[in-house]
Every structure is written in structure tokens, then in C-alpha cells.
Amino acid sequence: MAATGDVDEYLKESLILHSDHQDPSCDGHKDVQEGRYDIIDGSNDNGHQATKGSSTWMVLLSTLVAVCGSYQFGCCVGYSAPTQADIRESLHLSLAEYSVFGSIVTIGAMIGAITSGGIADWIGRKKAMAMSSVICILGWVALSVSKGAFLLDIGRFCTGYGIGVFSYVVPVFIAEITPKNLRGGLATVHQVLITSGISVTFIIGTLMPWRLLALTGIIPCVILLCGIGFIPESPRWLAKVGRHKQFEEALWRLRGNDPDIYREAAEIQDYIETLNTLPKARVQDLFQGRYTRSLIVGVGLMLFQQFSGINGVLFYASETFVSAGFTSGKIGTVATGCIQVPVTILGALLMDKSGRRVLLMASASGSCLGCLFTGVSLYFKAHGITQGWVPMLALLGILLYLGSFSLGLAAVPWVMMSEIFPINIKGIAGSFVTLITWFGSWALSFTFNFLMSWSPPGTFFLFGGFCALTVAFVAVIVPETKGRTLEEIQADLNS
């Protein structure tokens, strides 16, 4: 592998070569040619901060293409809620059979999670996303033509596998291509698009047949497959596999004239060279002492995210509102679809301002309160107390719960998962943590209907308890990663 100094010099020479083909009147190119930028602090000789490269648009384009996979994730998660009554009636499914259909997506996602890290490390982030898109397309086609439970479950399983891979690869790809000052906000776009997919599916699912709704899930996959050829691969992955020329070209496309490109390239190369001196990571390596805190943070956040009850509420939102006294679940389903996107966008805007920890604690606190409101409303309904107010109190509680969850708990754990593991074990760690996530999701989504049959208010009080525990966990264990490079975060966590 080339020495760091050689890579730095090569990049400097390439910068001048690229600049010679540009209009000399462009300030960024002119300043670089005249050598007036200080590589250490990124400022020019007049003390002004250097203008970020003209290729920020490429970072944005790459993010937008990648998050088509996130939107696909949302379409898949949101599909079962508005279609529950129609599918059960059309295919004559029992509650148990529909619970299998609703939850089998998480079985596929668990298998996708197991393989996601290895696939992404083997064929690259871009090809992994393309592969997942093809599998999701096959799944949606199977769903749309199914005549019974078997093909219905096969299609749901395939879409689950695809989103299991997306759930790891998309946030990792975004984290690896974005500069540190944009990483939190752009990584949160992953969750914004998941939420958008859920919301749109909730809303249009009340207006169209379930078979046609399945075909709309193909659209984001096709867009991703068309766009993947126009964006660069992750520079960090290219450096890791020793593709030095492609690494330099990808970094150029993503950073343009940014004078800090030399320093970033050197940091990445130094980090990769250090990692390459280590033996190949194995699953058991995750449990070494230096990775203990990263593992606790990653697994803990994902489990608390799931055991807050989110996928049970989302998968079976329609029936939850019926349990609260609504004559139909459609009104509540549309309302929940409308609230999630704006709150998730607010969370994205706050990600790099307030920090990860504050968002997590505020989100978990609000979710806890929403669960308590919902639990109280369901308790009132069960005991005949203020029956007229029960549906509205339940709607208020669920909207508060989903809005608060979307503010931080929805996105921050995924962002932090992409930040806290070093690249030598990122594939294995990502697969392991994502597997744990989907196992929690399966356990919750499969048992939710049975929990509601046992005790509707008790179910939401249980979720509220997990939200309260999340606040304590974040306050005591989770570090702040805002404004720090991936290398700085991992050096701190794994020291």
C-alpha cells in the first residue's frame, strides 16, 4: 500500500492538473493554483474560511440516490397497516396468519442483516444497494399476484431481506461519503425517507387496492437502479480494498476544491493502513475489550428503539385505532402518516445543532408520555370511563408517541451505528447490530396483536417503561458524536 505522504503528494499534483482544465477566474481553482490555502486549518492567507468544494452537489446527489433504499424501507414497513382488513378479507386469512405475514418481513430483514456487512465489504456499497433493489422488486411482484398466504409470505420475506441490507448499507454509505459538518444532517435523511415511505404508504393505502399498492413499492427501486451509475463509490471502502486510483477519483468527485481534501485523504489512508496491520476481523473480535463500549451503545440503542413498540404500532396502526374506539382505522392511519415526516425533518435539522444525546433523550421522553396517554385512554375504554373522549385521547397519545419517536429515536441510533465502529469491524459489527435490531422488531411485531389481546393499556404502559429506560441509558452510556470525524469518535470509544 502506498505511503500516506505519497498519496498526499499525488492528490496535490492531481489538484493542479484538474485546475488547469478549469476557468482560471474561478476563485477556488485560482487559490489552489497559487498555493494560498493553508491545508492545516482550511483558510486562506486573508484569514477567511475556504469555500467548500464545488462538488457538494455530488454528495447531495449520492445521498438522494442512496435514500431511495430508505424510502423502500418505509414502503415495506408501512404496507401492512392500511391493507390489513382488505388482505384478510380477500385471502381469508386468520389473525395468526396475518401476524405471520406482518412479521415475516423482519425474518427476511434479519437474514439481510446477517449478510449485509459481508456483502457491502465484498462487492462495495453501491452494488449491495443495487442487489437489494432487485430482490425488493421480485418481492413486490410476488405480493401483487399472490392468491394465498404462501406467495404472500414469500413476497413479504423478499422485501424484508432487501430492507435488511438497506438498513445497514444506506447509513454507512452516507456516513462514509459526507464531510463531518454535514454527516449528521445528511445521515438523518435516511430516516426522513423511511418516514416518508411509511407516511405515503399509509395515506395512499387507504385509497387504492392492496395489489396496486404493492406495485408502487417498485418505483423507488427502479429510481435507485437508474441513479447508482451516476454516483461515486465510498472512498473509505475503496481505500480499504486498495483501489488507490478510484479512491482519489471518488474523493475528488465528492470534495471538489475543498482544501481540506489533502488532510482528509491522509487521515483516511493513515487509518486504513493502521487497520490493515491488524488481523482480519472475526465475529468474536467484537467482544474484545476495546470494542465493548461501541457494542453496548450500538446494541443498546437498537434494542431500546425496537422495544419502545414502534414497529408494532406501525405494522398494525389501523387495528390499534379500532381498539381505541374509532369505527375505522383510516382516519388515525392518515393522521399518523401526516405527522411523521415534518417531525423527522425537524430532527434532521437539529441533528448537527443540538447533538445526538439531547435529541435521543427528548425523543424518548416524549414517546414515554405518548405511551402513557394512549395507555390511559385504553384503560378508560376498558372500564367505561369518559367514553366520548377515549378515541381523541388515544389519537393524541399515538400522535405524540410517533412524533416524539420520529424526532430522534427513529434516526439517531442508525446514524450512531454508522459512526461508532471502526472500519475493520464495521461490516461484522453492522451485521450483528442490525441482526439484533431486526430480531427485536420481529419479536415485537409478532407478539403485538397478542399483547393487545391480553391488555391494550398494559401493552402501552410496557412500551412507556422501555422509553423511560432509554432516557437513563442515553444519559449514562451514550457519547456525543456531533462535529467529530469518524476516526476521532472511534479513537475515543475504543481506546
**Residue 168 half-sphere exposure toward CB, CA atoms < 13 A:** 37
* Residues 154-158, mean pLDDT to the nearest whole number: 96
326: three-class secondary structure by DSSP: coil
DSSP string, 352-420: HHH-HHHHHHHHHHHHHHHHHHHHHHHHHHHTTSSGGGHHHHHHHHHHHHHHHIIIIITTHHHHHHHHH
Residue 405 has pLDDT above 90, yes or no: yes
User: What radius of gyration, in Å, describes the C-alpha atoms of the chain?
Assistant: 24
179-216 in b/e burial notation, b at 16+ Cβ within 10 A?
bbebbbbbbbbbbbbbbbbbbbbbbbbbeeebeebbeb
76: cell is: 415495506
In the chain, the amino acid numbered 315 is F
| 149-177 and 125-145 helices, crossing angle to 10° | 160
The closest alpha carbon to 349, from 180, 189, 167, belongs to 189
What pLDDT is recorded for position 4? 39
Using CA atoms, how far apart are residues 410 and 124, in angstroms rounded to an integer? 26
> Considering Cα of 362, then 306, then 345, then 81, what sign does the dihedral take?
negative
DSSP string, 105-152: HHHHHHHHHHHHHHHHHHH-HHHHHHHHHHHHHHHHHHHHH--SHHHH
Q: CA 416, CA 481: separation in Å to the nearest integer?
A: 8
Cα–Cα distance measured from residue 293 to residue 437, given in angstroms and rounded to the nearest whole number: 17
Query: 11-19, long-range: CB within 8 Å, 24+ apart, which pairs?
Result: 11/248, 11/251, 11/261, 11/262, 11/265, 12/262, 14/248, 14/252, 15/257, 15/261, 18/252, 19/257
Burial of 130 (C-beta count, 10 Å sphere; 0-12/13-18/19+): middle
Residue 140 binned pLDDT confidence (cut-offs 50, 70, 90): very high
Neighbours of 152 (CB within 10 A): 24
Q: What is the mean pLDDT of residues 20-32?
A: 39
CA distances from 400 to 328, 336, 431, 441 (A): 20, 10, 32, 21
Look at residue 450 and tell me whether its pLDDT is greater than 80: yes
Question: What does the domain layout of the chain look like in residue ranges?
Answer: 56-231+278-493
Question: What is the average pLDDT across 398-409?
Answer: 91
pLDDT score at 30: 37
The domain made up of 56-231+278-493 has a fold known as: Growth Hormone; Chain: A; (1.20.1250)
Instruction: State how far the Cα of 436 lies from the Cα of 440, in Å rounded to an integer.
Output: 6
When pLDDT is cut at 50, 70 and 90, the band that residue 343 belongs to is: confident
Query: Could you report the per-residue pLDDT of 177-198, keeping only the tens digit for each?
Result: 888 777 767 877 887 888 899 8
pTM (2 d.p.): 0.70
Cell 438497506, residue located: 166
Of 467, 302, 474, 476, the closest CA to residue 369 belongs to: 467
Name the average pLDDT for the chain: 81
User: For residue 54, what pLDDT is reported?
Assistant: 44
Q: How far apart are CA 350 and CA 347, in angstroms?
A: 5
182: three-class secondary structure by DSSP: helix
Instruction: State the Cα–Cα distance between residues 230 and 233, nearest whole angstrom.
Output: 10
SS (H, E, C) 48-109: CECCCCCCHHHHHHHHHHHHHHHHHHHHHHHCHHHHHHHHHHHHCCCHHHHHHHHHHHHHHH
Q: pLDDT band at 495, cuts 50/70/90?
A: low
Quick one: average pLDDT of 314-333? 70
Q: How far apart are the first and last CA of the chain?
A: 25
Cell of 430: 453492522
Question: pLDDT value at position 458?
Answer: 93
For the chain, what percent of residues have pLDDT higher than 70? 85
Average pLDDT of the segment spanning 107-116: 87
pLDDT tens-digit readout, 278-308: 667 777 778 877 788 889 999 999 999 999 9
What is the band of 372 on the pLDDT scale with cuts at 50, 70, 90?
A: very high
- From 12, 493, 492, select the one nearest 251 (Cα to Cα): 12
Q: Are the C-beta atoms of residues 253 and 55 closer than 8 Å to each other?
A: yes
Residue 329 has a pLDDT of: 61
CB atoms closer than 10 angstroms to residue 462: 15
